[in-house]
């Protein structure tokens, strides 16, 4: 069974239980997600920008950067990858090309949004969105582009902040009519917004838990009770790691010694186990 088909089967069960997908931007995070027992990994555009390039999520990367990130992760894990593809990096033709590129790189699901380029992280201020009809044509192009009919198309709108909840709901309904498999209104700012989204929209809905972002902090089960089937935690690992980096290097600069931090880090054997050294050592034996 291919990963897109596997993901569709998982999404079909979300009426009874949420599909939780931790996120990140690196193969190491993906290996840890898989080893923890999760069924899918979310490749975050923010995490790709920050982890792999040391850049903010403000539209500085392109399709090839995303494809490289997907392929490096698909190489080492055996669970579906849900790929954040920003705006598709252009017009309808660009979206068509991007979907083909990311499918071939190993994405089981491809998420596209309606921001104007250069886009921003969904939890930043002053976002701009393109016309709803143009955004819908881009979603239709993505649906048409997929070579594997099981590849999941996730349609995201960032219109809630600039245009309001009514327009956001209208847009994702249009996206659903264009063939999107999962609907995603990013950065709801209140329980009222979340309740309306969950109660007024049909189909599989996605929620994004961006800690300290605009959306109220909730668990996957709490999101599910409101009607959300797919819940992603896109940058949790990145945030924890960034804090650890700062604390480590500050301590090392001050003391020149890491022995006090030993209980907060993997040993060499533990790290070798995560990257499956034994698998590679046993090849050919």
Q: Does one domain contain both 65 and 193? A: yes
Domain-located, residue 157 = yes
Residue 269 sits in which domain range?
A: 249-281
266 and 136 inside one domain: no
Q: Per the confidence metrics, is the pTM higher than 0.85? A: yes
Same domain, 139 and 269: no
Strand, helix or coil for residue 233: strand
**CATH number of the domain within which 176 lies:** 3.20.20.60
Same domain, 174 and 259: no
Q: Are residues 268 and 223 in the same domain?
A: no
Q: Torsion over CA of 191, 235, 45 and 33, rounded to 10 degrees? A: -110
Q: How many domains does the chain have?
A: 2
CA distance 247 to 242: 9
Per-residue pLDDT of the chain (285 residues; tens, 9 = 90+): 599 999 999 999 999 999 999 999 999 999 999 999 999 999 999 999 999 999 999 999 999 999 999 999 999 999 999 999 999 999 999 999 999 999 999 999 999 999 999 998 889 888 999 999 999 999 999 999 999 999 999 999 999 999 999 999 999 999 999 999 999 999 999 999 999 999 999 999 999 999 988 899 999 999 999 999 999 999 999 999 999 999 999 999 999 999 999 999 999 999 999 999 999 999 978
**Are 144 and 263 in the same domain?**
no
**Same domain, yes or no: 144 and 276:** no
Residues 208 and 260 both lie in one domain:
no
Given a contact cutoff of 8 angstroms between Cβ atoms, the answer to whether 142 and 1 are in contact is no
49 lies in the same domain as 109: yes
* 193, part of any domain: yes
């Amino acid at each position: 069974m291919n990963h897109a088909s596997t993901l569709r089967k998982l999404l079909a069960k979300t009426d009874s239980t949420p599909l939780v997908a931790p996120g990140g931007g690196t193969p190491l995070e993906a290996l840890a997600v898989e080893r923890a027992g999760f069924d899918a990994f979310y490749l975050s555009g923010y995490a790709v920008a920050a982890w792999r390039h040391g850049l903010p999520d403000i539209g500085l990367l392109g399709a090839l950067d995303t494809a490289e990130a997907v392929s490096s992760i698909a190489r080492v894990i055996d669970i579906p990858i849900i790929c954040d593809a920003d705006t598709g990096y252009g017009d309808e033709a660009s979206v068509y090309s991007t979907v083909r590129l990311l499918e071939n790189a190993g994405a089981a699901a491809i998420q596209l949004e309606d921001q104007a380029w250069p886009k921003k992280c969904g939890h930043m201020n002053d976002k701009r969105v393109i016309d709803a009809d143009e955004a819908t044509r881009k979603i239709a192009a993505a649906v048409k582009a997929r070579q594997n009919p099981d590849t999941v198309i996730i349609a995201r709108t960032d219109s809630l902040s600039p245009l309001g909840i009514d327009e956001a709901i209208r847009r994702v309904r249009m996206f659903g009519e264009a063939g999107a498999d999962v609907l995603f209104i990013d950065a709801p700012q209140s329980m009222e917004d979340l309740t309306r989204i969950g109660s007024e929209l049909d189909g599989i809905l996605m929620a994004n838990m961006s800690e300290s972002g605009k959306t109220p902090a909730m668990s996957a089960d709490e999101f599910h009770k409101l009607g959300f089937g797919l819940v992603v935690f896109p940058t949790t690992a990145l945030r924890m790691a960034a804090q650890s980096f700062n604390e480590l290097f500050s301590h090392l600069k001050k003391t020149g010694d890491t022995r006090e931090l030993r209980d907060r880090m993997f040993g060499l054997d533990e790290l070798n186990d995560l990257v499956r050294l034994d698998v590679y050592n046993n090849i050919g034996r």
